[in-house]
């Protein structure tokens, strides 16, 4: 079973719905989820907020936080996950933000990634330094956020 299928099954077992907020992954997380038959019973939707200002406008990430630290920050990932929950009316939110490369962004090297999950029982963020091509960093980020979601949802309750 894939990580996406594992996450959807864990959420379905809890009766929880899912919302996704993506930046560097550009829709790859939601694509992985909708590849799983029956995803619509759990997945509410996704927001691809690639531009920094959209993280504030669409996901309610504090604009002062974005101005002070930029989009590549663990607290931004946390806020994006919470914003996905709130804006998409979901029980659980997943979020990805970081630098896929090939160039640095806001002083962060390629491969700097933050993934987050927010549930009714709390939030968790993981910060990663991934290696590889732009495509490899994005693919590893998808796996990381789905794995984090599976682990956190299974531990909840």
pLDDT of the residue at 134: 98
Q: What average pLDDT is seen over the chain?
A: 97
Q: What is the pLDDT of residue 56?
A: 98
pTM exceeds 0.95: yes
- What sign for the dihedral angle of Cα 73, 112, 55, 115? negative
Question: What is the predicted pLDDT for the residue at 1?
Answer: 75
Do 102 and 54 meet the contact criterion of CB atoms below 8 Å apart?
no
Residue range 44-60: mean pLDDT, rounded: 97
Query: pLDDT value at position 33?
Result: 98
Mean pLDDT of 14-37: 98
Q: For the chain, how many helices (H) and strands (E)?
A: 6, 5
Percent of the chain residues topping a pLDDT of 70: 99
Strand pairing class (112-119; 122-129): antiparallel
The answer on pLDDT for 55 being more than 70 is yes
For residues 71 and 97, the answer to whether their CB atoms sit within 8 Å is: yes
pLDDT in tens, 74-83: 999 999 999 9
Distance CA 102, CA 100 (A): 7
pLDDT category, 157, cuts 50, 70, 90?
low
Find the angle CA(42)-CA(82)-CA(78) to the nearest 5 degrees. 120
Structure tokens at 118: 């927010």
- pLDDT at residue 79, rounded to an integer: 98
R_g of the chain computed on alpha carbons: 14
The full set of domains in the chain, from first to last, is 3-155 (3.90.950.20)
SS3 118: strand
- Residue that is written with structure tokens 């990634």 in the block: 113
């Amino acid at each position: 079973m894939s990580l996406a299928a594992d996450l959807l099954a864990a959420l379905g077992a809890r009766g929880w719905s899912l919302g996704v907020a993506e930046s560097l992954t550009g829709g790859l997380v939601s694509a992985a989820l909708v590849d799983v038959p029956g995803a619509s019973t759990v997945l509410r939707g996704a927001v691809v907020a690639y531009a920094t200002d959209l993280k504030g406008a669409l996901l309610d990430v504090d604009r002062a936080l974005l101005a002070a630290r930029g989009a590549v920050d663990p607290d931004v990932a946390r806020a994006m996950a919470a914003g996905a929950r709130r804006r998409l009316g979901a029980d659980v939110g997943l979020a990805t933000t970081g630098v896929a490369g090939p160039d640095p962004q806001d002083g962060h090297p390629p491969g700097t990634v933050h993934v987050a999950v927010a549930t009714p029982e709390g939030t968790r963020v993981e910060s990663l330094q991934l290696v590889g091509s732009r495509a490899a960093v994005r693919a590893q980020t998808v796996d990381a956020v789905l794995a984090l979601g599976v682990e956190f949802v299974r531990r909840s309750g």
